Structure 1
Amino acid sequence: MTIHVNIGEAKTRLSELVAAALRGEEVIVQRDGQPKVRLVALPEAEALEREAIAAKRKAAFGCLAEKYAAYPPEAFDVPPSMTDEEYEERIKRKFG
């Protein structure tokens, strides 16, 4: 998704626009209706953002580690919902 804002609006919404750029959205700043600047997140900033999100998720799952410590690792394996053949059959039925 692309966000187009004029320069005056960009001044008041800068933190919101930076957050959108970090999420991967394209932000275009316009002057007099003409695009002038594109806000793009730095690859390093994107990597740091992803690491922070991963750390939060890991911490959330870590709070349950003691509760499930007695279970073997294979107890958490999730079987596929259908085989490849079943999937292909379903696609053929749906789309012909």
Structure 2
Amino acid sequence: MPTYRVRPSKQMAVFGAVFGAVIVIVGLVQMAGSDAGGFVWLWAAFGVAIIAFNLWSAFGRHGHTQTITTDDGDTPPTRVGQTVERER
């Protein structure tokens, strides 16, 4: 029973990290003068998590977002922009 790791393409994961950084920066600048309190920290924490997840997916050796196990020997179907690697 072969097992495959599925990850987004490097370009898509890096774009996600850059987009996450833009969202964090714009959000923090917009909330800087307001009395947002703990929401600012929550916003920043989620933003850092999005950035970290995307960078891990792009550059980590085991940075896959899905694991597919099949009963047949053929490769599983993929979507455009995904990389499929067979686990050994």
TM-score under structure 1 length normalisation:
0.30
Considering Cα pairs closer than 8 Å and 6+ residues apart, tell me whether 1 or 2 has the greater RCO: 2
CA radius of gyration, larger in: 1
